Structure formats: structure tokens, C-alpha cells
Amino acid sequence: MTQYVLRRLIHSVFIIWGCATLVFFLLRLIPGDPVIQMLGPEYTPEAAEALRRKLGLDEPLQVQYVRWFGNILRGDLGGSIASGETVTGAIATGLPKTLSLAALSFLIAIVIAVPAGVAAALKRNTIVDYAASVVAFVGVSMPSFWFGIILILVFAVWLGWLPATGYAELTDDGFVEWLRRLILPSLAIGAGYAAILMRFVRAGLLEVLGSDYVRTARAKGARERTVIVRHALRNALIPVVTIAGIQLALLLSGAVVVETVFSIRGIGRILVGAIFDRDYPMVQGVILLVAVIFVLANLVVDIVYTFLDPRIHYG
């Protein structure tokens, strides 16, 4: 077990190193001279030379590469070309928003998916099951950003219940305002995620309900409710944890896109803005960050998984 965790840890370190290398070459792959691209209409030979020196592009490639890693390890991702702030600073202001969004989306997805999946499994092949299945199909096939626009249309424009855009700080504006502004974007992301999870809850529960230990629990006279919650659901949720981890990407990429819809300046909005500004250090920083978060999240899920199900042994 310790050995397994250790091996996964080392693997993750290598993957992150690979990601950083890939992101390093991202800037160097830009067709033509990246400095000319970045300066755009403000190009003068002197400005180009200055920028090239600032980005260290005038040095040999291996020197740049070593410096890139040294900087990353010190938490220095360089400075934004467009705004002058540091990339780490911009990320530090954006990341809490994105993480709040992802966390609330996750919560919403669980709250929808588990009861819906349980209902579909218990009422299998009834109208409840079919309805859940149809809704799940639509949910999986729907772009999160479109659902976000529809939510704005219904809850902000037509009903006027919730604000259409913006973000409120939890610390400054209080929980209610924070939630009011975050609920629609979180629902936009959480819906698709819930659709996927729901199908696995249903399938997992159906499988477990036919097992010996559920029959035993019933035979010894446990109440149906106890059988479902204590015996069946607990085991049915184990594969769901894996799926939840694997589909974390959905939350992250969902956040990136939905932030644009709701004008929330999280890391997704920062990334898209940086691409339009040709602010390559910022683009590099955000992409690297997302990859690292994703790799680490998957690592955590894998490790949690081994604790959840002691039957699983890794050689």
C-alpha cells in the first residue's frame, strides 16, 4: 500500500515535469517570432529586443529551460506582458473563484446525482427510471456554457431572482451574496457532471443489490432503508468515487468556459483574456497550473480509493 502510494507519487512528479516541459515549448512553438506576435502594432526593434531580454528568449535554449524550471520551483511564473502584474499574483486572485465554482458544482452534482441514481435503480424500468435516463442523456450532451446562458435567461432575465453575472467575495460580501452569484454558474457546470455520476450510481446500486451480502442483510431482518443506505449504497458508491475523480476535468474545464459566460474573473477568464492579449507567460502559467491541479487531484482520488475499499490491493 505504502509502496503503491509512493509509486503513484513518483509517477505524478514525472508527469508534472513533462507538463512543465510541454508548456515551456509551447511558447517556442509559436510560428514566427513570438516577440513580434506579442508586441503586435507596438513593434519596434528596440521594444522587441527589450521584451526578448525580459523573457530570456535571447539566451540559448538549454539555459532558458533550466531557468524555467528554477523559476517554477521557486513559484515564479514570470510577469504578465499585458498588465504588468506577476502571473502568480493574477492566478492567486483568480484561483479561489475557480475553486469555489468547482467545489459548489461538485456539491450540486452529488446532491442531484445520488438521490436520482438511487431512485432510478430502486424504481428500475418504471417511468422514474426512464425519465432520469432521458434527463441524463440530455445533461451529458449539453454544453455547460449554453446551459449557463439558459439559466441566466430564466433566472436573471425572466424571473429576476438572481444576478446574471459577477462574483462576490465570501469574506467581504457574506455567504448569501456569494451563493446568490455562484449558484447559477455552479448549476451550469454541475448538471452535466451530475448526469454522468447519476448513471454510475444507478448501475453500481443495481449491481450491489443483487449481491449476497445484501440478501444476507435482508434475511437477518434489516429494514429496507438500512439495507439500502448502510449496505448497498456504501459499496455502490466506491466506483462512483473513481468516476468523480476521473471526471474532475469536467469541473475544471467547465469552470474555465462558464466563467466567461458569467463574467467571473477566475483562472479560465484570465486564460482566455491572456490568449487574446497574446500574453504568453500568463497562458503558460495558467495551463501549467490546471495540469498540475488535475494530476494532483487524480493522485488524491487514487489514494482515497485504496482507503475506501480495503479489498483492493495493489502489488
Partner 1 sequence: MARVVSAPAVEGVSPVGQAGVGPPADLPVGSPSGGSRFWRRLRRERKAFVGLVLIALLAVVAVIGPAVAPHHPDADDFGILEPPSLAHPMGTDSFGRDLFSRMIIGTRVSFSVGIVAAAAALVVGGLLGLLAGYYGRWVDSLISRAIDLLWAFPVIILAVGLVAVFGAGFRNVTLAIAVAYLDDFARIVRAETLGLREQDFTLAARALGATDRRIMGRHILPNMVAPLIVQATFAVGLGILSESTLTFLGLGVNPATPTWGLALNEGRDFVRQAWWISVFPGLAIVLTVMSLNLFGDGLRDALDVKGVAERA
Residues in contact with partner 1 by CB under 8 A are: 14-16, 18-19, 22-23, 26-27, 29-31, 124-125, 133, 137-138, 140-143, 145-147, 149-150, 152-153, 157, 164, 192, 196, 199-200, 202-204, 206, 243, 246-247, 249-250, 252-254, 256-257, 260-261, 271-272, 275-276, 280, 283, 287, 290-291, 294-295
Query: What residue type is 53 in one-letter code?
Result: R
Closer to partner 1 by Cβ: residue 27 or 222: 27
**At its nearest, how many Å lie between partner 1 and the CB of residue 98?**
12
Q: Which is nearer to partner 1, 62 or 141 (CB)?
A: 141
Q: How far is the CB of 245 from partner 1 (least distance, A)?
A: 10
Query: Which C-beta is closer to partner 1: that of 102 or that of 104?
Result: 102
Q: What is the CA radius of gyration of the chain?
A: 24
Tell the smallest beta-carbon distance from residue 315 to partner 1 (Å): 18
Nearest CB to partner 1, comparing residues 170 and 278: 278
The smaller minimum CB distance to partner 1, of residues 222 and 308, is found at 308
Closest distance to partner 1 from the beta carbon of 253 (Å): 4
Q: How far is the CB of 172 from partner 1 (least distance, A)?
A: 27
Least gap, CB of 312 to partner 1 (angstroms): 17
Report the C-alpha gap between 61 and 45 in whole angstroms: 22
User: What distance in Å separates the CA atoms of residue 273 and residue 269, rounded to the nearest whole number?
Assistant: 6
| Of residues 142 and 168, the one with the C-beta less far from partner 1 | 142
Minimum CB distance to partner 1 smaller for 41 or for 221: 41
Q: Report which DSSP code applies to 311.
A: T
In angstroms, what is the minimal distance from the CB of 313 to partner 1?
Answer: 21
In angstroms, rounded to a whole number, what is the distance separating the alpha carbons of residues 26 and 288? 11
